Each structure stands twice: as structure tokens, then as C-alpha cells.
Chain A
């Protein structure tokens, strides 16, 4: 794109952008560096590189502080939730955009409006419901909550994608005598793959990072998620001064999202923007 920018304008732009980028990079840099120091030297010698790389901090976090089992819990719970979110939302989004139903528009609004409900409003009654069916402090309970609370946004995202897919494919399939299910399974799902990939990534990130729902619905250590474990560790800081473990834990929490970011950032950004601009 050509422009009438001056050289000075360009330099100033770059300076500003670089400064901001440095501030972003510092988040990673400082957290990683701090995680490799000892508790004595973290704050005393903040600006020096660590003398030795104390990977022991990570070992301690993983075993003594149970971060390994928390990671496993997170992995299982979040993966299951994300898979089920797609299984449940994809047909719904398809029905809402494609099928001839009288209730199409009000129903779509009904789903999407859920995005505006403050989640905190639901904490109490949801807890009441779940404890009535004995699902508090179980992985299944948390998974059900994760799935349900993700439905509005996922349906919103997926309907945005389905709307952009041309209808000729289904029409020809119908002429060929395909049932609705077959049309859906063999044609629509493959065509909606970019949308599905986006929904998977976004939901994974959101659920991996969250700790509040886990805080409410998981009460013991057995099923605790990683993000929650990190939060608990931080909250207990008054009683211990084990800063380095907290930083090591932070790095552990960041790793999956960092990997996603490195490998898929373009895909992710493209997906989010495509799903939002209809």
C-alpha cells in the first residue's frame, strides 16, 4: 500500500511499535528468567541473569506442588470439553443457518444473547443445580459447566462461518437424495473446517486459562486444574515466600498457549476476524 508518509513518520511509528513489542516480550523474558533463579536472588539481583539455571524449580513444581497432576487434569478436562463443545454446537449452528425453520432468527438470538449474561450471576444457581445431582468436585461437573458456558460464543462464531458457505453444495446433495445427516456429515463439516479449527483453538485457550469456574466447582486437589493450581499457589504467597515456584508454574501454564501462538497465530487471527465480521 503506497502512502504519503514521511521518513520521520515511519521512524516514529517503528519506535513506538518496537517499544510496545518489547513490553510484550518482557512478559515472557522476565517470567522465564525469574523461574530459573533461587528464592534468595530473585528480587535481590533482579537485573542479573541467573547464576545457574535452576531447573530444579520446575521439578519441584511438578512433583511436590502437584503441578504435573494438575496439568494432566487440565489437559483431560479441557480437551474433553472442547471436543464436546464442537460436537454440540456444530449441528446447532448448521440448523440455525441452513434449515428452513420458522424459529430460526429468534432462536439464534436466544443462543447468542447468552454471551451478554454475566457469568457470575450463574455461579450460585449452577452450584445449587450441580450439587443437587452430585456433580460438584467431579471432572464431569466441570466439563458440563465448561461446555454449556461456551455454547453461546461458539454458536455465534460457527454461524458466522456457515453463513459464508454457498448453498449449492447442499442443494445438489439434496437432489441426489442425501438425507440431512449425510449432507451435514459429508459436505458441510469438511467445508466448515476453518471455522471448526478456530472454535477449537479459541475454546481451548479460554478454558485452559480459566481458573474461576474450577475454583467454584472443584474443591479438592484431585481434580484441580493447572490454572487453578497456579492461582492457589499465588494466593498462598503470604505463608511461603516461594516465588520461583510461582514463576515456574506460570511458565508451565503459558506453554500450550505459547505453542499455539507460535504455530497457529496467523490461522487463529484469521479465524477470529472472519468469524466476527459477517
Chain B
């Protein structure tokens, strides 16, 4: 009986496992292997170069800039998203009417296609002089803001960062709210009976009890932020401007991009390798930071 059970378990796993191994795991290992070679992709020949690609990375200023952007996106973007998510959860959890409606509305941008966001923000909102923001400020008579170039070299990354935060808040908000809903009501009642105000309740009761959920969310954000591609790549139209290049974008441009006539696939996968390490490091850090005893309730 038990032998049959084991056998059928593997049968249940087989289809997904085969696909996964063939088209996910194997390519991952291949990618790591390719990073030790130089390969143009056109010929079948690859030249083994050992750690050369990685040494090149250390000296590559474009990579430095991309890495910096990735980290800013991860950290500043993460801070922005989570502060807003907590703020909204605080506002929505204090007996306000329309909680579910607000929650859905804030979540809405998350399910809209990144291309559409890139078009809306890049073409309609941030467009210089004639876009929504600039013309709005002009109507309001705020001259300096009416001339503010959201899409120029200095500001475009911040503009994109704002959009990223705006899109993502809803997702983390809804999960945070669900986590908070699991906190037993009697804890709140007891605190209120003793005269605690909302702020105190939030920081001393709610926050510590959502630590587990928060850890998962932060790790998830790490996955998302470090490999964010769709929105950023579409933002500039034909080619995203250098200022918003992150690791993921740089990898793609080096590997498939239109700039160099020779595709440098080995170098590109080296970038991918480093990006993967970044994800692992971030995950470990988050789990270390937030690992404390789980409060029993």
C-alpha cells in the first residue's frame, strides 16, 4: 500500500517536475556555466574566459550605476511602499467607512499592465510642458513646477520610482491588512479600556504581531524589485534611458540590446549571476533582521 502511495506521488509530480527541470533548472545551470565564457550567440563557439566576465563587472562603471539604481529601487522603493502600506492600513483599520472600497481602489494599479503604466505616466502625465502635471501646475499658476522636467536626465529615475511605489502599495497593503485582521480583537479592547490611543496601539500591538507577514512581504519585494523589468524597459519608449537602468535592464541590453553589434551573452549572464547573489543576500539579511521570537496569542 505504501509503495503504491509513493509511486503515485511521483506520478503527480512528474509533469511539473519535468517541465521545471527542462526549462527552468537546466537553463539556470546553463546560465551560470555560460557566465564563464565569452559568446556572441551567432557562432556555436564559446571561448572559456574563467572569471574574466566578473572582473570586467567590477570595473564596469555602467554596471556600478545599474547596481546603484537597483539598490535604490530596492531600498528607497521598499521604504516608500511599506511606509505607505502601513499608513493606509492604519487609516483603514480605525473604523473608517468604505474600507473595502478604498482597499480595492488602491490595489487596482497593481493588476494593470506595465506597458499601460509606462504609456500613461510617460506620455500623458510626465510629458514636458503639455503633460497632465505640467499643464496642471500651469493652470494653477505654479510656474516653477509647470516647467519641471519630470523626464529629464536628473529626474527621470525619481519619477519612475514614484510610479513604482504608487503601483505596488496596494498589493502589500491588502496582505498586511489580512495579517492584521488575524490579531484577536480582545487585545485591542483591553488596550482601549486602559485608555491607549490609536498610535500607541498601532506601534505596540499591531506592528509586532505582523512580523511574520512582514518578513514574507519584504522577501517578496526583494524578488520583485531586483528583477523588475517590464515597467522600466517600456518607460523610455524605444530604449530606456541610461538613468533608469537597473541590473535587470543592463543584463538585457548587454545580451540582446541594440547598442552593440556583438551580443555579449557571457557577460550578460555574469550580470545575471551577480543579480541572483544580490537576491540571496537580501533574503538572508531580511530573515536575520526580523527573526525574533514569535509572539504567542
Contact = CB atoms under 8 A, between A and B. Distances in A.
B120 A31 contact: yes
A212 B233 contact: yes
A64 B30 CA distance: 42
Interface residues on B, range: 35 or more
B132 A46 contact: yes
B237 A238 contact: yes
B116 A230 contact: yes
A208 B6 contact: no
A180 B242 CA distance: 55
Contacts of A274: 178
Interface stretch (B55-63, B142-150, B250-258): B250-258
A211 B19 contact: no
Contacts of B130: 43-44, 46
Contacts of A34: 124
B112 A125 contact: no
Interface string A75-92: 000000000000111011
Interface string A201-214: 00001001111100
**Quick one: which of A17, A96, A107 has the most chain B CB within 10 A?**
A17
A205 B108 CA distance: 12
B120 A118 contact: no
A254 B178 CA distance: 27
B199 to A, nearest CB: 10
A5 B166 contact: no
Given A43-B130, A114-B24, A121 B272 contact: yes
A63 interface: no
A52 interface: no
Interface string B6-29: 101111110111011011101110
A9 B92 CA distance: 12
A277 interface: yes
A172 interface: no
A4 B111 CA distance: 35
B107 A254 contact: no
Interface in A223-256: 227, 230-231, 234-238, 243, 246-247, 250, 253-254
B241 interface: no
A193 interface: no
A8 interface: no
Contacts of B109: 24, 27
A25 B233 CA distance: 24
Contacts of B107: 265, 269
Contacts of A209: 111-115, 230
Nearest to B1: A174
Nearest to B19: A148
B69 interface: no
B175 interface: yes
Interface in B96-129: 96, 98, 100, 102-109, 111-120, 123-125, 127
Contacts of A237: 123, 237-238
B64 interface: no
A100 interface: yes
Contacts of B255: 123-124
A124 B223 contact: no
B245 to A, nearest CB: 13
B61 to A, nearest CB: 21
B13 to A, nearest CB: 5
Interface residues of A, number: 97
Nearest to A211: B115
B265 interface: yes
A277 B192 contact: no
A47 B130 CA distance: 10
A124 B265 contact: yes
A145 B23 contact: yes
A17 B88 CA distance: 8
Interface string A34-51: 100000000110110000
A197 interface: no
A89 B91 contact: no
Contacts of B276: 116-118, 121
B175 A273 contact: yes
A138 interface: no
A180 B115 CA distance: 44
A273 B119 CA distance: 30
Contacts of A277: 175, 178-179, 182, 213
Contacts of B105: 20-21, 24-25
15 contacts: A1-B95, A1-B185, A21-B106, A27-B120, A92-B17, A95-B13, A100-B9, A117-B28, A125-B30, A125-B269, A126-B27, A211-B115, A238-B238, A276-B213, A277-B182
Interface of B: 2, 4-6, 8-13, 15-17, 19-20, 22-24, 26-28, 30-31, 34, 41, 88, 91-96, 98, 100, 102-109, 111-120, 123-125, 127, 130-132, 135, 139, 166, 171, 174-175, 177-179, 182, 185, 188, 192, 197-198, 213, 216, 223, 226-227, 229-230, 233-234, 237-238, 247-248, 251-252, 255-256, 265, 268-269, 272-273, 275-276, 279-280, 283
Given A46-B132, A230-B115, A254-B116, 11 more contacts: A1-B188, A5-B95, A46-B135, A101-B10, A121-B272, A123-B255, A212-B233, A237-B237, A238-B238, A261-B111, A266-B104
